[in-house]
Each structure stands twice: as C-alpha cells, then as structure tokens.
Amino acid sequence: MSIWKRSLLYIKTHKFRSILLLFTLTVIASGMLIGLTVWQGSREGMQDLKETYGNSFKVTAIIPQTADDTRLWEQTGNVPGFIQYYYKGSKVDDELVRKIREVEGVTAYNKEYTLLLTYLPEIDLVDGLHTYFEKIDQAEGYPEEDLVKSWIVKSQNELKGCTDSSLLPYFRSNSLELIEGDPIREGDYRKILISDRVAEDNHLQVGDQIRVTELDEVKIMEMSSKEARKLEELPELVETFFTIAGIFHVNTSQYITELTPESDIADNFMFIDIDSVTEIYRENGAYYGEPLDPIYTATFFVDDPARTDEIIADVKQIPGVTWSDYELEVESSMYESALTPLENISRIMMFLLIFLLAVCILLLILVLRIWIGARKKEVGILISIGETRGRVRSQIFLEGGLLLLAALILAAGITFWGGNWIGNTLLDQMNRQQTKTLQVDPIENPATIEELEEMNEQFQLRSEAELVETLSCQLEASELLTGSVLLYLALGFAVWLETRRILRNRLKEILG
C-alpha cells in the first residue's frame, strides 16, 4: 500500500486525533495569516506615509550661539542699543542650493526665512496676548503715557518667507489648505497669502493689497504711548505693498488662550515670497549699519523616498563645501506621530508571528509525541516488512501535511472574512492611544522657565500628517505562501524531532 493510501486511511480511522490536530492547526494558521496580512497592511501604510511626506531633507547652517568668535562674526552699524552682526561663516546661499539641486534624484527645493514682527497698520489680526494686555491696561486706568505699547505690538506679525508655499509642511500636511488664488511660487515678487478669517475680518480678497512696514524701533522706544498715539503714522524704515495671491483655511484645531501671541495664531499666519523677504531684510539692515542677507534654511525633495539616505550621501560628496558646518536631516517630523501607531502594529504582529510559530512547533511536538507514541508497533511492523525509515517519516509528515492543508484552507477563509476588521480595529485602538499621548494638560500660569517654554510649545500649530484611518488587510497570495511555508517547515521539524526519538532505536527495541 502506498504512503498516500496509508496516510488517508489513518486520518479516516482516527477521527478524534485528526479533528483535534486539524482544529489546533486551523487556530495557529488563522493567527499566522491574519498576523501576516495586518503586518503587511501596516508596512504598506508606513510606506505610503513615507512616500507622501518623507521625500525631503533639510539643510541648516550651524550658527554659533554667541558672536564672540571674530572669525565668524563681524560687528557693523553704530545705532545705540541695536548692535548688528554680520555672519561670515557657512550659509545656505544660492550657490549651495544650486549645487545640491544638480545632484541626481533631487527634484525640488524650498528656501525659507521668517521676518520677525513687521507692522501691518491697516490689518486687524485675530485677538491674542497683546490685545489682552491692552484691555487690561485700559481697564486698570493707567495714564496713557505710561501704557505699554500693546496697541502697536498687536498689529505686528511674522511674515514667513518661502520659495514655494505648497512645499511648506503646513500645506503638505493639509493643516492649512489654499481655498482661493495661487500659492507662492519661485519668481513671485511682493505676493502674500492670508487666512480666510483675516480676509473676512478686513474685507479683503485675492488681488487686494496689504501695506507692510518696518518700524523705526529706536524712535518708537523714545516715545511715550501718548506721543506715539498722536502721530498719524508711526516712524517707518521700510514700506512695502503686497498683493494677495491666495487665501487659505486652517483645517486643524489649535490650543489658543489669552496668552497666545497674535503671531502664533494660525489664522494670523502670512506667507510671502522669498525675494521680498530678502529685500526687506536688506533695507532694514542698511538703516542700522549694513544691508545683510537673511540666514536661510532650505528643504530639498527627492524623486524616490527609498533613496533619500543615498541622495544625502551624494550631496555630502559635493566638493568645496565644509559639510561639518551644516546639518542635513531627513524631514520626518511631519509624519512621525502618524507613523507611531503603524510601527506599534508592525511590532505587535511580528511578535505574534514569532510567538505563534514557537507555539505551533511546541504543540506539534506534543501532539506528535502522543500520536507517534501510540504507533510504535505500527512503525516497527512497517520497518520489518521492508519500509525505510525515510518512508515512515514521510507518511507521518504527509498525514500532518494533509491536515495542515485543510487547516490553511479554513484559515484563508477566516482571514479573508475577518482580517480587515481585526487590522482596522487594532489601528483604531493604536490611534486612540497616540491621540491620548499627544494630548497634554495646558499650562496657563507657568512658574518656571521650563513651564514657560512648554506653554509656548502648546500654542504652536502642529504641521503633522493626519493619522492613517484605514489599513488594507486583504489576504494576498504572497502572504498565504509565506504562512504555508512557515507552517510546513514547523511541521517538518516537529515530525523529524519526534520520529527521531523512535527511529534511532533498533527494530527489536521499537517492537518491544
């Protein structure tokens, strides 16, 4: 009789043992296939995030915190109270940008710099810290000449300069969404983006102009609040008119209190072209001593996220650049929080797969020990009539293999039916945990410098990718094949280990 017929006959005549092994293998195979599909789904989700948000690296010049080193810093200007320093060290300049853009794989770039607190005399910003201070001063009845000039500061705002606003983290993560007009593009001049809320409050639309000025801080400091209010216009250094190129909407919630500075409120964000930033910075610097260029940062984008590290290595081979003066970092901050739940799922599934494989081997050893132990005489008879030890092993492996095949068919059906639900339920739990981790109790009355810094961080708008909400956990042929190979290897190892205990004995010992 062939080993196929003997295997089928044994399974048929020992139904209880066969059903028990079939059930055990089905449970293990189901866990294995579900684990593989959820693991693969999490890996695909991670890859999608990286391809969408992880295709860039940032280049920043390492600037010393003090200006003591005269090899790097040179003092310019002679305006009392406004010491100006010119940085002579390595910078992210147009020449460096050009060299990096010539590296194969670099597709685009965005140069950035933020102008601090320019004055917008005709614009009402969303109320924040300085509006709150002004109300307190007025309510307390202070003499006008003693009032802090909050009414000036509340109309000052940061202008965020860029080469291409669509490449900024805010817009790439959809925290801010352009709803009218066009983004800031390379080559634009005196163009600005504002929020829909500021546009509505000030009755502005695309194509209108906004007046932006740099105030003469020296003269402002010398005036009392009363004297400054009497002036029809405050003393200005630079006056610029910007055309509204586009209007954006803030899609994400932001923690805002009366202590939130106006410039930190997302609805007050304003973006302008980098050439205008440079021009204003130079004109302002010229007043205090010497026209200077801003110290930019730049983000570069690559055609293949998988090659980002390789492309950075190529960039560092550019001759004539002292790379120790720069930081080159993969820009991963946008999607790190969204990546965490997927990484946790991947780790859990990998642990589950290893655990199930170990359990599978252990259970098969125990079941086969009982199975084979009860068949010692049968094994001895087969050997005595001329069967080789290899064919005896093959028969036992075949019996288990047929049951494993049936278990895999059942497990595939279970995985097809429940894999998606299990994977997305787990993702939902991981997302809830991540959201809870990111939530912190707001600090409203900081008592230390550390608490003050932490409070300021709470005000910042997070330009992060949204958490992945669904995973594709459908069983694929590759996962079924991988699971089958692993389980058949486990079965083969268990059969070899247990049959070895018997077949290494002599025939007389087996039959005895």
Residue 109 neighbours by CB under 8 Å, 6+ apart = 97, 100, 101, 163, 298, 299, 300, 301
pLDDT of residue 186: 92
| Rounded Cα–Cα distance for residues 32 and 357 (Å) | 8
| Rounded Cα–Cα distance for residues 364 and 343 (Å) | 31
Q: What is the pTM of this model?
A: 0.71
Model confidence at 208, pLDDT cuts 50, 70, 90, reads very high
- Calculate what percentage of the chain has a pLDDT beyond 70: 81
Q: What are phi and psi of 26, to 5 degrees?
A: -65, -45
pLDDT of residue 273: 97
**444 membership: H or E segment, kind and range:** none
Reported as half-sphere exposure (CB side, CA atoms, 13 A), residue 436 has a value of 6
Residue 351 CB-density burial (10 A; 0-12 exposed, 13-18 middle, 19+ buried): exposed
Show contacts of 454-462: CB within 8 Å, 24+ apart: 455/259, 456/264, 458/255, 459/254, 459/255, 459/256, 459/259, 459/260, 459/261, 459/264, 459/265, 460/264, 461/170, 461/175, 461/250, 461/252, 461/254, 461/264, 461/266, 461/269, 462/175, 462/252, 462/337
pLDDT of residue 448: 62
| Rounded Cα–Cα distance for residues 142 and 225 (Å) | 11
Residue 504 neighbours by CB under 8 Å, 6+ apart = none
| Rounded Cα–Cα distance for residues 484 and 499 (Å) | 22
Are the C-beta atoms of residues 184 and 271 closer than 8 Å to each other?
A: yes
Are the C-beta atoms of residues 233 and 121 closer than 8 Å to each other?
A: yes
More confident residue, 207 or 436: 207
| Rounded Cα–Cα distance for residues 280 and 261 (Å) | 23
| Rounded Cα–Cα distance for residues 342 and 471 (Å) | 9
> Other C-beta atoms within 10 Å of 412: how many?
19
Per-residue model confidence as pLDDT tens digits over 27-74: 889 988 999 999 999 888 888 887 777 788 999 999 887 777 778 888
| Rounded Cα–Cα distance for residues 335 and 444 (Å) | 28
Question: Residue 171 corresponds to which tokens in the numbers above?
Answer: 């817009």
The DSSP result for 75-100, as a single string, is EE---TT--EEEE-S----HHHHHHH
Q: What is the mean pLDDT of residues 424-442?
A: 75
| Rounded Cα–Cα distance for residues 191 and 240 (Å) | 11
For residue 429, pLDDT over 80 is answered with yes
More confident residue, 50 or 301: 301
No. of H helices and E strands in the chain? Answer: 17, 12
| Rounded Cα–Cα distance for residues 16 and 4 (Å) | 20
Residues 70-97: b if buried by 16+ CB within 10 A, e if exposed: eebbeeebeeeeeebebbeebbbeeebb
Instruction: Please give the C-alpha separations between residue 512 and each of 334, 392, 395, 496, 508, in angstroms, as whole numbers.
Output: 71, 18, 22, 22, 6
Model confidence at 373, pLDDT cuts 50, 70, 90, reads low
- Calculate what percentage of the chain has a pLDDT beyond 90: 31
For residue 25, pLDDT over 90 is answered with no
**341 membership: H or E segment, kind and range:** helix 336-373
| Span of 204-218, 307-321, 382-396 with lowest mean pLDDT | 382-396
| Rounded Cα–Cα distance for residues 344 and 433 (Å) | 11
